[in-house]
Structure 1
Amino acid sequence: MDKKYKIFDSHAHYDDDVFNEDRDGLIKELNESGVIGILNCSSSYKSIAKTCELINKWDFIYGAVGIHPENADEFTDERELEICKVIKNNIKIIAVGEIGLDYYWDKNPSREIQKDVFRRQMKIAENENLPVIIHDRDAHGDTLEIMKSFPTVKGVVHCFSGSVEFAKECLNLGYYIGITGVVTFKNAKKLLEVVKEVPIEKLLVETDCPYMAPEPNRGKRNKSDYIEYIIDRIALIKEIDPIQVNIHVNDNFYRLMQLEKYSRI
Structure 2
Amino acid sequence: MYIDSHCHLNFPDLQAQLPDVLERMRTAGVGHALVVSVNLRDWPGLMALVERYPFLRASVGVHPDNDTEDDEDAEPTLDDLVSRAAHPKVVAIGETGLDYYRLSEPLEWQRERFRTHIRAAHATGLPLIIHTRAAAQDTLRLMREEKAPGGVMHCFTESWEIAQAAMELGFYISLSGIVTFKNAAQIQDVARKMPLDRLLIETDSPYLAPVPYRGKLNDPSRVIHVAEKIAELRGVPVSAIEEASAENYWRLFAKAAVPA
The number of equivalent residue pairs is: 255
Q: Counterparts of 1:77 and 1:14 in 2: how far apart (Å)?
A: 21
1:215 and 2:207 correspond = no
Are the aligned partners of 1:125 and 1:153 in contact in 2 as well (CA < 8 Å)?
A: yes
**SS across alignment from 2:66:** helix
CA distances 1:32-55 after superposition (whole Å, capped 9, x unpaired)? 542110000010122321221122
Q: Counterparts of 2:171 and 2:178 in 1: how far apart (Å)?
A: 20
2:65 to 67, 70, 94: 70
1:50 and 2:45 correspond = yes
Question: For residue 137 of structure 1, what is the aligned residue in structure 2?
Answer: 133
Question: For residue 83 of structure 1, what is the aligned residue in structure 2?
Answer: 81
Q: Counterparts of 1:92 and 1:31 in 2: how far apart (Å)?
A: 21
1:21 and 2:19 correspond = no
Question: For residue 89 of structure 2, what is the aligned residue in structure 1?
Answer: 92
CA distances 1:70-90 after superposition (whole Å, capped 9, x unpaired)? 1153675984233322211x1
Q: Counterparts of 1:259 and 1:249 in 2: how far apart (Å)?
A: 16
1:39 to 10, 15, 34: 34
Are the aligned partners of 2:14 and 2:219 in contact in 1 as well (CA < 8 Å)?
A: no
Are the aligned partners of 1:235 and 1:242 in contact in 2 as well (CA < 8 Å)?
A: yes
Per the normalisation by structure 1, the TM-score is 0.90
Gaps of 5+ in 2: none
CA RMSD between the two structures? 2.0
**SS across alignment from 2:131:** strand
**SS across alignment from 1:97:** strand
**SS across alignment from 1:71:** coil
**Amino acid paired to 1:165:** E
Are the aligned partners of 2:76 and 2:113 in contact in 1 as well (CA < 8 Å)?
A: no
Question: For residue 103 of structure 1, what is the aligned residue in structure 2?
Answer: 100
Q: Counterparts of 1:198 and 1:94 in 2: how far apart (Å)?
A: 25
Are the aligned partners of 1:72 and 1:117 in contact in 2 as well (CA < 8 Å)?
A: no
CA distances 1:189-246 after superposition (whole Å, capped 9, x unpaired)? 0001111111111110000000000000000110111111111111111111110111
Question: For residue 203 of structure 1, what is the aligned residue in structure 2?
Answer: 199
Question: For residue 60 of structure 1, what is the aligned residue in structure 2?
Answer: 55
1:9 to 1, 4, 16: 4
**SS across alignment from 2:129:** strand
Residue identity (%): 32
